[in-house]
Structure 1
């Protein structure tokens, strides 16, 4: 989870591969009307996000993902995260933390993506960082993807509960 440009898609793809879990790109589940709004630089409202969050929640239900699933989702507000937790109470969130300038630069460098750089400021205004929420790992999104993935996989398998220092990959495979 995190603002646009934090690296959700890149990190999630690598995590899904490392964990052997299904990957769902949250952006693919937006309604066409929502995509058109974002392309035009119009921020989504909570009403715009309701159906989207319901579709994402369905992907997280235990019967839909018995082995585990990696889902990208901005999940900017606590109530959005809580909606997803209703579908999967054991859900963990990885908050890829990034400052405004870095997020804006990354979004501006993505040609062809529907998310308008004009919306980055709105994302930061909407963001309710998950400070103190259970089941959240906060990581610096400027770290290399490989380090982020190593930290996330370790956390998923019961390792570090806070932002870990870079570690050597474990030998012998995952549990």
Structure 2
């Protein structure tokens, strides 16, 4: 089983994906770990990535998802903001379960500002919301709920 937990930075992708992994026994991965250094450096300078920056990263993830599908699967935390990004991610393996974490810009901004050691700053949040194309498929989750409730909701919808 391949599950991609998506949404803008600060919506809880890492928390929810890692806890979902623990609950289901499916390995957890963070798409951020697959970014080349040039992308991380660019975001750290406060610049948004463009599609040219993202394309090699998305293609690598698509190949990796295909590998996971033949093993123990994967729960991937990945922004996947645009439909064309999701199309690339699912280009090699179609049976992806999408989980979209949604919340208000104010709540997400508070979460980002409370973080330490993350390259995404709150100024880039506007560009993420601008790029976000909400999927009309998958499991949609309101992030104002507790992580435990969110996990239980997702697991119940996986059955």
Query: Which of the five TM-score ranges fits, normalised by the shorter chain?
Result: over 0.9
Cα distance in 2 for residues equivalent to 1:23 and 1:59: 13
Q: Which residue of 2 aligns with 1:64?
A: 68
Is contact 1:40-1:116 (8 Å) kept? Answer: no
Q: Which residue of 2 aligns with 1:145?
A: 147
Does residue 6 (structure 1) correspond to residue 11 (structure 2)? The answer is: yes
The alignment partner of 1:124 has SS state of helix
Q: Which residue of 2 aligns with 1:116?
A: 121
Q: Which residue of 1 aligns with 2:3?
A: none
Aligned length: 153
Cα distance in 1 for residues equivalent to 2:92 and 2:150: 26
Structure 1 position 47, deviation (Å)? 0.6
Q: How does 1:156-171 map to 2 (within 5 A)?
A: 156-157=158-159
Aligned match of 2:111 in 106, 112, 120? 106
Structure 1 position 51, deviation (Å)? 1.1
Does residue 76 (structure 1) correspond to residue 78 (structure 2)? The answer is: no
- Misfit runs of 4+, over 6 Å: none
Structure 1 position 67, deviation (Å)? 2.9
Does residue 90 (structure 1) correspond to residue 95 (structure 2)? The answer is: yes
Cα distance in 2 for residues equivalent to 1:67 and 1:79: 26
Cα distance in 2 for residues equivalent to 1:13 and 1:143: 17
Taking structure 2 as the reference length, the TM-score comes to 0.92
Structure 2: gaps spanning 5 or more residues: 1-5
Is contact 1:107-1:117 (8 Å) kept? Answer: yes
The alignment partner of 1:138 has SS state of strand
Structure with the bigger percentage of strand: 2
Taking structure 1 as the reference length, the TM-score comes to 0.84
Q: CA RMSD in A?
A: 1.1
Larger C-alpha radius of gyration, 1 or 2?
A: 1
Structure with the bigger percentage of helix: 2
Using CA pairs under 8 Å that are at least 6 residues apart, name the structure with larger relative contact order, 1 or 2.
2
Deviation digits for residues 18-45 of structure 1 (CA, Å, limit 9, x no counterpart): 1111111111111101101111110000
The alignment partner of 1:92 has SS state of strand
